[in-house]
Chains A and B, each alone.
Chain A
Amino acid sequence: MTGKKILIVDDEPNIVLSLDYLVRRKGFVPLIARNGTEALSAANEHIPDLIILDIMMPDIDGYDVCQTIKTNPIFSHTKIIFLSAKSRPEDISKGLKMGADKYVTKPFSTKQLMVEIVDLLK
């Protein structure tokens, strides 16, 4: 399991800071993107095994990123976890409809998030 690539997409540097540390500590390889455009180019370049995806971003929003990736066959093995402060039921159901595998709301528990990541990458 170790060595799998996880793309972290968030425009809040301090959240990225914690995610980067968390992922690295568990032996995964973190990749960082600070907005939707960066996320898509990084995904295309590295074909990550999992993407932790924020929704509210300055350019392309997380929903669109998710849909683009999930409809592209080269990402057939890539899992997506939404990590968003949007916590209303309609936000969550929309996220899952876009093809995400999990939806975790902010603020999140690092332990819980790691359980989900490990679970998805099994």
Chain B
Amino acid sequence: MSGLLILVIVVYLAVLFLVAYKIDASTRLRLRVANSPTIYALSLAVYCTAWTFFGSVGGASAYNIQFLTIYIGPIVLMPFLWFIYRKFIRISKAQGISSLSDFIANRYDKSIGLNRLVALLLMLGIIPYIALQITGIDKAIETIVTNNGTEQNAWLRYVDTSLLVTLGLGYFIIIFTTKRFQEKEQNMGLVGAIALESIVKLLVFLFFGIYIVFYASDKPDLFSDFDASKLKLNPNNDYGQWFGMIFLSALAFLFLPRQFEMGVVAAANERKVKRAIWMFPVYLLLINVFVIPIAIIGNNMFAGHKMNPDMYMLSIPMHLNSGWMALLVLLGGFSAASGMIIVATHALSKMVSNAILMPSFINNRFVLNRFKDRNHRIPVFFRRLSIFTVLLLAYLYHKLVVADFTLISIGLVSFVAVAQFAPAILGGIFWKLGNKYGAIIGISLGFFVWLVFLIGPTILNVNVHGMFRDDLNAVRPEGDLITTVLFWSLLLNFLGYTVGSILTRQTALEQNQATLYVDIMNYSADVDSGVVWKGKAFFPDIKSLLSRFLGERRVTAELNHFAQKQGIDLAAQDELDSRLIGYSEKMLSPIVGASSAKILISSVVKEEKLSMEDVVNILEESQKIIAVNKELQQRTDELKRVSEALKLANARMKENDLLKDEFLYTVTHEMRTPLTSIKALSELLSDEEDAMPDEVKREFLNTILKESNRMTRLISQVLDLENFESGKHQLIIDKVNVSELIQHCLQSLDGVFKQNNIQVCVSVEDELPELYADSDRITQVVLNLLANAAKYCDKERGKVWVDVTRNGSVLQVKIADNGPGVIPELREIIFEKFFQAKNQTMRKPKGSGLGLAISKKIIQLHEGKIGVDTNKPEGAVFTFSIPFTQNRD
């Protein structure tokens, strides 16, 4: 069992190595990890440590679900995260920031002192937290080994597993944070490994939860102790404490170094934050789903035994003799703890190395020059030394101090520590007047309170609690002490920061940085001139300096690239452009830290003191560039819009062209028919004149005449329609007597009716109002309909009806015949020009080429309607209706 236990951990670590290694080795994978919002959200779940994995159940076992505030805090924060993280990420990118302490120090005059202070305090605050994770792993292993009483495993009790684990993790951190570290990209192998750890701890927790609930489902005694009313969100009815805890964890989420590392430094772009805003709360929800059931089952299972509830997660499966489940849970707990240890140590070691070790080294000219040839290895060496130091201190803290405390309490102490950076950081990005002295005073005051009331007792074992309450048994810093200290420390901190800032003056550099931090959104997402310099420098000097730390090849390539992008001519310049100096500092910053980068650059730049005026000028200039860019963007957008519109117009024109082509084709086609007869007949006439009998000649000539008339009619109709459609034909509106108009039409067709023996029935309603219309056009419509009726009515006993009625304010004219009628499929399209669709081979009924299309147009111009009756089975009934008085004018 114990051998297996070690094996599982070793194999798990090996898998982590492999994943991180694979990602690092492939550019494609690195890019995928860098661009994946899901992996980003999972990497943020480094928030859930061993404290979540084991401690939540411990907290819930006392029927006090106040532990949930730790998760409610970040969830409440999420809607605001976009606004805060976006600024964090942009500022960090623009200034080459690689740690929380650099972020703070760069804002406040690039102060080395402040940078050191923050790094030191974070060590104080975070090392106990790392120690807590080591303890978590240690306790977990111990639970398995002691519960598994077989003698052959006894050897494990004499081996310090926590030391082995610490060393193993230290090795992992060194490999994956200092190997590729001279390169520009963020450490995606590490991010991928952390995301994987987040998946493992969540899946294991869910799996164990389902397993245990399933096991307990038919054992009611395991729930006998349960009484829902005992579950209290707020056991002491202390809402201040509740609010305090939520507030505290929201601040912790923002300012814990491991969160800053994953959420800001390792974030390749700010867009990913959007997905995290909903995905991260879902993660927190899932990992807490089974906490309470497990706590209840544990309470019942071990009623009467003295069992540490923090270890229910392990003692339950051990009690059930489920060794493999215990191993799986251990693995989940290990992934939770190791994720925190890795990222926190990485982040802390960066600060220790860059803020504490590096500046001392660089300021010492003698040492710096002595190791001149090996300068590029110094940052790596310092980083490794820092990692070792941090882990060693954490291990010692674990061994000497932490063992007696619950998992939750020490975490909260760390939370209060990082909360002390809230005024300086949030003030720094939202308030331009905040300055270095304010920040130093505020942070010092806050930490003093924290140190005296929270850390002091854990080291000295003094009962501080008793100073606030008469509860002499409590030695552990519990919730109410935490919130009390949080309140007072933050209050003093905030007052110190604001009063200190108001009472002291900012330097020019600080003012510049303040503007860059607060107004970062006014600058582009990737400000290359984030660092402002004024002074003289020479290219060879700065290049050799950079090369010492970054390697000559990379420096040459990057400086050339930057110069090209900014239009700086490197060859022509002895004296360097200030933008290039700024860029050099930014390049150096992630490697040696912001403070050291500034010292190094100052050593080769003959700096002139930056005046307020300079700052204003520089800022104005860079804002102007942004403005020009914005304008350009607007122009581009406009151009895009115009070209879209053009494209659309072109498409419409093409469509119109197509319709026009079709129309033209149909017109010429229609003309071909009479032309064909005319041509054939006249050819025959001219060829055969002599041989042709006279009556045939006459018939041919008559036909030619008829066909010529047909063609003339066609041409004038086409022109008519065209003129209506293009708007050339305007209606001439005048008073019209409808009855007279109808009579006139009938008279002009009288000959046709008589010739074909057609009976005409007319009915016109009496006392019709006067119609306001274009008399000639309406006549054209009536004539057209009458001519159609005469053409299509019954050949033997033809009948045509004309029916004129008034329907309210509308004149209705109905013209019907007793012919075969219009087949239903054609009732719509007979009003179209030539009413034949493309490629139609069906011949239209004779003569109805354009007449109905023109009639429809005319009626439409009179705001009326025309249609053919579809109800009658036989005979065509055409009806048009127009208002007596039109709305026009």
Q: How far is the CB of A64 from chain B (nearest CB, A)?
A: 8
Q: How far is the CB of B693 from chain A (nearest CB, A)?
A: 11
Tell me the bound Cα distance from A113 to B760 in angstroms: 46
| Interface members, chain B 212-242 (any A CB < 8 Å) | none
Task: Judge if A122 is at the interface, Cβ distance under 8 Å.
Answer: no
Contact of B841 among A11, A12, A18, A63 (CB under 8 A): A63
Tell me the bound Cα distance from A108 to B684 in angstroms: 12
Tell me if A85 and B669 are in contact (CB < 8 A): yes
Tell me if B672 and A107 are in contact (CB < 8 A): yes
Residues of A within 8 A of B699 (CB): 17
Q: How far is the CB of A67 from chain B (nearest CB, A)?
A: 12
Contact of A18 among B680, B842, B845 (CB under 8 A): B680
| Interface members, chain B 706-729 (any A CB < 8 Å) | 706-707
Residues of B within 8 A of A30 (CB): none
Given A85-B669, A86-B669, A17–B841 Cβ distance below 8 Å?
no
Tell me the bound Cα distance from A34 to B680 in angstroms: 18
| Interface members, chain A 35-91 (any B CB < 8 Å) | 55-58, 61-63, 85-88
Task: Judge if A110 is at the interface, Cβ distance under 8 Å.
Answer: yes
Q: How far is the CB of B486 from chain A (nearest CB, A)?
A: 85
Residues of A within 8 A of B679 (CB): 107-109
Tell me if A19 and B680 are in contact (CB < 8 A): yes
Tell me if A106 and B684 are in contact (CB < 8 A): no
Task: Judge if B688 is at the interface, Cβ distance under 8 Å.
Answer: yes
Tell me the bound Cα distance from A15 to B676 in angstroms: 7
Q: Chain B 684-708, CB within 8 Å of chain A: the 1/0 string?
A: 1001100100001001100100110
Q: Chain A 1-37, CB within 8 Å of chain B: the 1/0 string?
A: 0000000000110110111011001000000000000
Tell me if A21 and B841 are in contact (CB < 8 A): no
| Interface members, chain B 235-261 (any A CB < 8 Å) | none
Tell me if A107 and B675 are in contact (CB < 8 A): yes
Q: How far is the CB of B414 from chain A (nearest CB, A)?
A: 82
Q: How far is the CB of A20 from chain B (nearest CB, A)?
A: 11
Cβ-closest chain B residue relative to A109? B683
Q: How far is the CB of B458 from chain A (nearest CB, A)?
A: 93
Q: Which of A14, A22, A57, A108 has the most CB of B within 10 A?
A: A14
Q: Which of B678, B684, B703 has the most CB of A within 10 A?
A: B684
Cβ-closest chain B residue relative to A17? B703
Task: Judge if B775 is at the interface, Cβ distance under 8 Å.
Answer: no
Q: How far is the CB of A2 from chain B (nearest CB, A)?
A: 17
Q: Chain B 657-675, CB within 8 Å of chain A: the 1/0 string?
A: 0000000010001001111
Tell me if B676 and A85 are in contact (CB < 8 A): yes
Task: Judge if B681 is at the interface, Cβ distance under 8 Å.
Answer: yes
Tell me the bound Cα distance from A107 to B707 in angstroms: 13
- Tell me whether chain B's interface is mostly helix, strand or loop, or mixed: helix
Tell me if A15 and B842 are in contact (CB < 8 A): no
Tell me the bound Cα distance from A57 to B836 in angstroms: 12
Task: Judge if B843 is at the interface, Cβ distance under 8 Å.
Answer: yes
Residues of B within 8 A of A55 (CB): 841
Residues of A within 8 A of B845 (CB): 58
Task: Judge if B677 is at the interface, Cβ distance under 8 Å.
Answer: yes
Q: Which of A21, A58, A61, A111 has the most CB of B within 10 A?
A: A21
Residues of A within 8 A of B687 (CB): 110-111
Q: Chain B 830-850, CB within 8 Å of chain A: the 1/0 string?
A: 000000000001111100000
Tell me if B843 and A17 are in contact (CB < 8 A): no
Given A85-B669, A86-B669, A110-B683, A18–B843 Cβ distance below 8 Å?
no
Tell me the bound Cα distance from A60 to B317 in angstroms: 86
Residues of B within 8 A of A17 (CB): 677, 681, 699-700, 703
Residues of A within 8 A of B677 (CB): 12, 14-15, 17-18
Tell me the bound Cα distance from A48 to B734 in angstroms: 62
Q: Which of B674, B676, B687 has the most CB of A within 10 A?
A: B676
Contact of B683 among A11, A14, A56, A111 (CB under 8 A): A111
Q: Chain B 417-461, CB within 8 Å of chain A: the 1/0 string?
A: 000000000000000000000000000000000000000000000
Residues of A within 8 A of B684 (CB): 18, 21-22, 110
Q: Which of B669, B675, B683, B843 has the most CB of A within 10 A?
A: B843
Q: How far is the CB of A78 from chain B (nearest CB, A)?
A: 21
Tell me if A12 and B703 are in contact (CB < 8 A): no
Tell me if B841 and A85 are in contact (CB < 8 A): no
Tell me if B672 and A58 are in contact (CB < 8 A): no
Tell me if B843 and A58 are in contact (CB < 8 A): yes
Tell me if B680 and A22 are in contact (CB < 8 A): yes
Tell me the bound Cα distance from A11 to B676 in angstroms: 13
Tell me if B665 and A88 are in contact (CB < 8 A): yes
Given A56-B841, A57-B843, A63-B841, A15–B680 Cβ distance below 8 Å?
yes
Tell me the bound Cα distance from A22 to B673 in angstroms: 18
Cβ-closest chain A residue relative to B679? A107
Tell me if B841 and A25 are in contact (CB < 8 A): no
Q: How far is the CB of B481 from chain A (nearest CB, A)?
A: 92
Tell me the bound Cα distance from A108 to B647 in angstroms: 43
Residues of A within 8 A of B665 (CB): 88
Residues of B within 8 A of A12 (CB): 673, 676-677
Contact of B673 among A15, A21, A57 (CB under 8 A): A15
Contact of B707 among A14, A57, A110 (CB under 8 A): A14
Tell me the bound Cα distance from A110 to B676 in angstroms: 10
25 contacts between A and B (CB under 8 A): A12-B673, A15-B673, A15-B677, A17-B677, A17-B700, A18-B681, A18-B700, A19-B680, A21-B684, A22-B680, A55-B841, A56-B841, A58-B845, A61-B842, A62-B841, A86-B841, A87-B669, A88-B665, A106-B673, A106-B676, A107-B672, A109-B679, A109-B683, A110-B683, A110-B684
Beyond A61-B841, A86-B841, A110-B687, list 16 extra A-B contacts (CB 8 Å): A11-B843, A12-B673, A12-B677, A14-B681, A15-B673, A15-B680, A17-B703, A18-B681, A21-B684, A57-B842, A58-B843, A58-B844, A58-B845, A85-B673, A111-B683, A111-B687
Top 5 closest pairs, chain A to chain B, by CB: A18-B680, A61-B841, A14-B677, A85-B672, A106-B676
Identify the B interface with A (CB < 8 A): 665, 669, 672-681, 683-684, 687-688, 691, 696, 699-700, 703, 706-707, 841-845
Identify the A interface with B (CB < 8 A): 11-12, 14-15, 17-19, 21-22, 25, 55-58, 61-63, 85-88, 106-111
